[in-house]
Each structure stands twice: as C-alpha cells, then as structure tokens.
Structure 1
Amino acid sequence: MEVVQVLHMKNGDGETSYARNSTVQKKTISFAKPIIEKAVLEILGSTIMGIESMGIADLGCSSGPNTFLLVSHIMDVIHAKFSTVTELRVFLNDLFSNDFNSIFMSLPAFYDKLNKQDYNNGRDPEQHVINPLISAVPGSFYGPLFPRKSMHFVHSSFSLHWLSQVPDGLNNKGKIYMSKSSPQCVLDAYSMQFQKGFAVFLRSRAQEIVDGGRMVLSFMGRPSSDPTADQGIFYQYELLAQALMAMVSKGLIKEEKVDSFNLPHYAPCAEELNLVLQKEGSFIKEHLEAFEVDWDIGGADLDHNMPNGTFDDDQTITSNGQQMANSIRAVVESMLESHFGKEIMDDVFQKYAELVSRHLTNSTTTPKYTVWVISLVKKT
C-alpha cells in the first residue's frame, strides 16, 4: 500500500465525512492553542521578525471546520500584539488526494468573517493583517515542501502519527495494527519506522524554518514505553480488526486479505520523541505535554433524552458507538477501501459500531486517547 496515494480523510460533508467527524481533532487544537500563542508571541518579540512578511505552514491541514482554526488563532495574536507584520503567508499542506477544493470554496466566507471581525473590533485595515495569503502545498511532509528559510512558524495537528509507509516485513496474522499477540519484531518495526520518519520530518523542516523559528506539533502518543499497554487508538484498531475478521467469517473477504493489511500508524512514547530529537539535533524542545481526550467526545453532545424525560444509558452507548465508528471511518476508510473494496465498507463499520458499543458497555472507565503537544525552536 502506497500511503501517499491512498491516505486521506473522507471528503465532502456527508454523515461519515471528516468534516462532520473531527471533534477529537478540534479538541486537540484547543489544547494546543495556548502553546501556539506562546510560540507566536516569542517569534513576534524576537529579532527574527524585523520584517513585515511572516510565513506559516499547517501540515496535514485536511478539510472541514478545523482547517482555518490555526490561521484565526495566529491572526488574533498578531492583532493583539500590534506587531509590524502586515503580510501573513499561509501554506496549507496535505497529501495529494486531500479535499483542497472544499478548502478553497470556503475561503470567501472565511475572508468575509475576518473582515467583519476587524470592522467590529475597530481595527485599522491599513495597519493590520486582513486577508492572509493562503496557498495549498500538496505533498508528503516526510520530505521538502517549502523554499529554504521561508517559514517562521510551522504547525501540525493530528497528523504525525501517520507513518510515511507501512513497516517492511510485518507478519501480523489476523491483525491490522500492533496488538498484545503481535510478535516483538512487529512492535520494533513500527517503532523504527516512526523514528526514521520523524527524523526525516525534522531534517526537512530544519531547512525550511528560519533560525529561531518555531514548531508546535500535536499527535497521538502513549504514556507507557510498552505500546501494547495503550488502550486508546491501540484498542480501537483491535476492534476494527475484529470487525474485518467478522467479514471473513461471513465469506465476504478472504483471511489472507486481513493478514496482508497493516495500518501506517504509530503513537510514540516520550522516550522515543526525545531520542529522535536528540539524534537529529536541529531543534530545541521547549515544551512537551500529554493530554487525554475521551474516545466518545464526538457523541457527547447528542440528545438522548427519552419522551418521558428519562435518560437511556443503553441508547447513549449505542449512539456513541456509532459516532465512534463514523469518526474512525472518516479517517481510515480510504485505506480500507483501497485494499478490501468499497462494497463491504458499510458492513464493516456497522459491525465495528456494534463492537465499540459493547466495549463501552463493559468498560469500567471511559476509554481515552493520549495526545502529545510539543513546542520546538529551530537552533541558531
């Protein structure tokens, strides 16, 4: 599976689209917001910003309501700082099959909203950034994307846990990801692939970011050095493997198809991050923090009140299970469809919703994701 060709969030705005199933991602951006603001303020207050044009990049921007959150946050900081920046160059990056059309179709409304905010806040359009210059840069961030020393701030949210490729030589029968029954060589292969890719990512950005420039990166991780101890995305993919094996038992797909599929995903621990940062050597780690996000945050706002005013816990769990299935489907369906075919996707995710609902029913605690937010400074 060529990851760069098949990995993309589900396009459009349908029920299972990424645009309607990215609440966890939005929550992650809210966690990172104060860290982003601090990093931008450090840039604005430093000697590197004796210029009027500021370059920022959002790597793995996807599409939907979260896409312009970073730009809005940074513009708020610039306006509050009354900085000398009068031009904001914004580069939105994702893989080639990303729904860039939706992004650019929504630009007029975004610009209109910015202009109304400026007017309502009494800002002088001659002294403040009004319309950032937004461009798309398709391609993998595991390699060069921008001209040398052209970026002041680089951001990536919920993207770096996706590997540049599936690790080579995996023998992971009946699984699509690491599991407690996976041999140690599978766990090691995933770890080494992440470390290799993260080092390439850092080297590439080091060429593109000015000395003293900053990065804030948010991605899935794990609190333990043991990858099989993680009960976040680790167990969600275990349930997805069970859903696929249920299709095998129905004769809808062959077991060999499941055996030959592995997700290009890895949630690192702090030790792995620190090891790569130290070896690569281009950045200083300023801040590293772990946050926890509930699995079913996307379903938390659903209305499950019964006609008599009571609250049906079973209905809530079932609905949250379906919401979770939609959230995972929005992220991984492109890869599953490429390998297993489009015709079984509804069956797979119907079964997956059942399995998640059962897991939520039997769980004594609320399952959570671990998310790393790391702030880095380019060495001078």
Structure 2
Amino acid sequence: MAKENVLHMKGGVGETSYATNSSLQRKVIMEVKTILEENIILSVSNKSAKGCWKIADLGCSSGPNTLLSISNILDMIHNINMKLNHGKPVFQVYLNDVFENDFNTIFNLLPDFYQQVKEKNVGECFISATPGSFYGRLFPNNYIDFFHSSYSLHWLSQAPKHLVKNGEPLNKGNIYLSKTSPPSVYEAYFKQFERDFQYFLKLRFKELVLDGVMALTFIGRESHDKIISVQGIVGMVLNEMVLEGLVKKEKLDMFDFPIYHPTEEEVRQVIEAEGSFILQKVKTFKMACDANLQEDVNGYVVDSKMRGEFIAKYHRAVFEPILIASFGENIMDELFLKLAKMLEKLIEIETLEFTNIILFLTKDH
C-alpha cells in the first residue's frame, strides 16, 4: 500500500525531473484555459467587487507549470474586474502539495514571476506554500474564493485496501487495473476513489466562501472496455524483470498503483451523492500520450523510438518516487529503458492517449 510521503513528483531540475519533463501537463493547462476562462467570467461577473482574491492550487507539484496556471487565472480575474469597473484586485495565492513536494524549485521561479505580474499590472500578488494532503483540511472555514487543480485528483490517498484475500493478492501479476483484473479489483479501486473524492468535496465545501468555485482537471477514462494505461505497461515491464531475476515476484504481486481514472458517469455519481456542489460544467477531451513531442524536439522527424523514449521519460518523472519506495532505486534506469522499448512497439499497434475530465463546480447553498 503506497504511503503518502512518496505520492509526489520527482523534484529538482535535472534530466529526469518533473520540472524538465512536464510539457504534456503544460499542454493540458493551455487546452483547458478557454474552458476555464468562460466559467470564471460567469462566476466573477456574479460577485460583488472583492478586495482580495484567495486562490489555492491543489497538487501544484514543482516546476513552471504551477506558475503558468496561476498566471492564467490572475489574468482572467483582472480582465473581468476591469470590464466590471471593480478596480484592480489583490491576489493571495496558496500552493499546495504533500510535505515532500519540491517547493524550492517553484520558489526559485518566483522573482521572475513577480516581475511579470508587475509588468502586466494585474494587481498585487502574494504567494505562499500550504503543504499537506488535499485529502485533509488545509484552510479555515469560509476562506478560499477559488480552488484550482490540474492532473492531481486521479491520485488516490492510498492504494485500495481490499486487494488481498487470505494473504493472496487479488490482482496478481498486475500493478493497476487490466483486462485480467477480477471484478472485485475494479470495485475496490472505485470504492477507494469514491471515498477519497467525497471526502475531498466535503473538505473543500467547508473551506470555500459562500460563492466559492472549483476548477478541476484530471485523467479519466471512457469505459471498462479499454484499459490500456502506462501504469499497466509498467506492470508488463516489471513482469519481464521478474523473469530476469531483477524484481521479486512477491513485491510485484503486492504492489498496487494508488491511481484511479474514473469515467464521467462515475464522477457525476460521486458529486451528486455527496451533495455539497453543483456541477456547472463537465467536459472531456482526449490527448495523445506524446501530444507535445513535436514541439519539444523543434521540428525533428519523430519516429516510434523517439515517441517511446518521450513517453517513458515524463512518466519516470511522475512515477519514480513511488516505484523506488517499492522496488528500489537500482532498477530504475533499466526499468524505464525497457519501458521506452516496449512503448516503441506498442504505439505502432495501439493508440496511447489520455481522456481528460474538466469539472467546474460551485458551492451549493
């Protein structure tokens, strides 16, 4: 069962860090920008003039993407305020992630960010870190005006609890949901997501002001019919490494990824059952796992080998801390080298893509 202290991205600014390998997440942020703007306009237009906007980014991770999200939100609110003659706003921004997150990488970017805010003249901005799991309380009651989260809520608080029966793992040979997983494993994953997401909603309801809003983007899926995920492919690589004597079979069988990709229907079901929020907008869109590769390589001809290496590299930045905790650091280079080669073969016959779910919610009175 994964512990919270390893549920973070790889820190620093090195070759395999999240800061260096998060261009796909950046592309998602820009894809969501228009939807976010449309809904922020409706929300801000219904508010009276506000002296200070308190904004929290949940699961901010490290690197430049967090400040891109914040910059977009500040620009949107400023522009609407100007149109409504509400005057120039002041922004208090809280960056949240688990205690082990590499906040220092973000802090090192702040001088340049503050200079950009000053040059754009959008209003004063103050940024603070708020470490802690968003599956726990983070702020006082009736405090935050706007919650934002991108690519974080598909992470569970922990792997499902009930995946072992009579000492035997139920999802043997897998590290995530697959076509060979029994129905009880699907049920356990959904129940864990349901518990976590409902609790997340209850907490945010307490922390939001009366007319507070949330914009959430995370990875989902279309249905049970097609379960092809990079986690599943990592599991295939680990099975190869078991046969080669590089990984113990017992460790593989007992490891379960603390991630769940819900369907839109499941998300609606949980929100409706919990009852604290009104779902104002939901939208899904697909994106290839290597959607930003062509931009990253500056026009070079992209082949399957490059695509496989690209996908493996940015998943290493996301998955490595949790995999090290279970399998040790010494196999990581070999694991992700093998992953790149397996992806190179798979992308010739399979479409590897994410289904993204975007939610815009308002606090139900």
Q: TM-score, normalised by structure 2?
A: 0.93
- Residue 324 to residue 346, structure 1, CA distance change in 2 (3 Å): same
Q: Partner amino acid for 1:211?
A: L
Cα distance in 2 between the residues matched to 1:172 and 1:230 = 14
Give matches, 1:61-76, under 5 Å: 61-76=60-75
Instruction: Note the C-alpha offset of 1:256.
Output: 0.6
Correspondent of 1:337 among 300, 314, 324 = 324
- Residue 117 to residue 84, structure 1, CA distance change in 2 (3 Å): closer
Instruction: Note the C-alpha offset of 1:230.
Output: 3.5
Instruction: Note the C-alpha offset of 1:41.
Output: 2.3
Q: Partner amino acid for 1:29?
A: I
Cα distance in 2 between the residues matched to 1:23 and 1:91 = 23
Aligned to 1:19: 19
Correspondent of 1:372 among 346, 357, 361 = 357
Cα distance in 1 between the residues matched to 2:87 and 2:251 = 57
Instruction: Note the C-alpha offset of 1:28.
Output: 1.6
Give matches, 1:162-311, under 5 Å: 162-170=155-163, 171-224=170-223, 226=224, 228-231=225-228, 234=229, 236-301=230-295, 302=297, 305=300
- Residue 77 to residue 298, structure 1, CA distance change in 2 (3 Å): closer
Q: Which moved more, 1:259-268 or 1:270-279?
A: 270-279
Q: Partner amino acid for 2:265?
A: E
Cα distance in 1 between the residues matched to 2:2 and 2:249 = 21
Listed as ranges, the gaps of 5+ residues in structure 1 are 119-127, 306-310
Instruction: Note the C-alpha offset of 1:117.
Output: 2.9
Q: Which moved more, 1:89-98 or 1:22-31?
A: 22-31
Instruction: Note the C-alpha offset of 1:303.
Output: 5.3
Query: Would you say 1:87 and 2:84 are equivalent positions?
Result: no
Aligned to 2:33: 33
Residues 95 and 128 of structure 2 are in contact (CA less than 8 Å); yes or no, is this contact kept in structure 1? yes
Residues 64 and 106 of structure 2 are in contact (CA less than 8 Å); yes or no, is this contact kept in structure 1? no
Instruction: Note the C-alpha offset of 1:40.
Output: 2.6
Cα distance in 2 between the residues matched to 1:116 and 1:343 = 47
Instruction: Note the C-alpha offset of 1:368.
Output: 1.3
Residues 31 and 291 of structure 1 are in contact (CA less than 8 Å); yes or no, is this contact kept in structure 2? no
Identity value in percent: 42
Residues 23 and 297 of structure 1 are in contact (CA less than 8 Å); yes or no, is this contact kept in structure 2? no
Query: Would you say 1:106 and 2:93 are equivalent positions?
Result: no
Q: Partner amino acid for 2:308?
A: G
SS of residue in 2 equivalent to 1:352: helix
Instruction: Note the C-alpha offset of 1:245.
Output: 1.4
Count of matched residue positions in the alignment of Structure 1 and Structure 2: 354
- Residue 359 to residue 115, structure 1, CA distance change in 2 (3 Å): same
Cα distance in 1 between the residues matched to 2:298 and 2:97 = 34
Cα distance in 2 between the residues matched to 1:19 and 1:198 = 27
CA distances 1:88-130 after superposition (whole Å, capped 9, x unpaired) = 1101100111110111111111111222333xxxxxxxxx513
Instruction: Note the C-alpha offset of 1:45.
Output: 1.8
Q: Partner amino acid for 2:65?
A: N
Aligned to 2:8: 8
CA distances 1:62-83 after superposition (whole Å, capped 9, x unpaired) = 1112011122112212332213
Aligned to 1:133: 126
CA distances 1:2-25 after superposition (whole Å, capped 9, x unpaired) = 431111111112221111211221
SS of residue in 1 equivalent to 2:179: coil
Instruction: Note the C-alpha offset of 1:42.
Output: 2.8
Q: Partner amino acid for 2:226?
A: A
Correspondent of 1:146 among 139, 149, 152 = 139
CA distances 1:23-79 after superposition (whole Å, capped 9, x unpaired) = 2211221122122223332332224x4430111110000111201112211221233
Aligned to 2:314: 327
Query: Would you say 1:117 and 2:120 are equivalent positions?
Result: yes
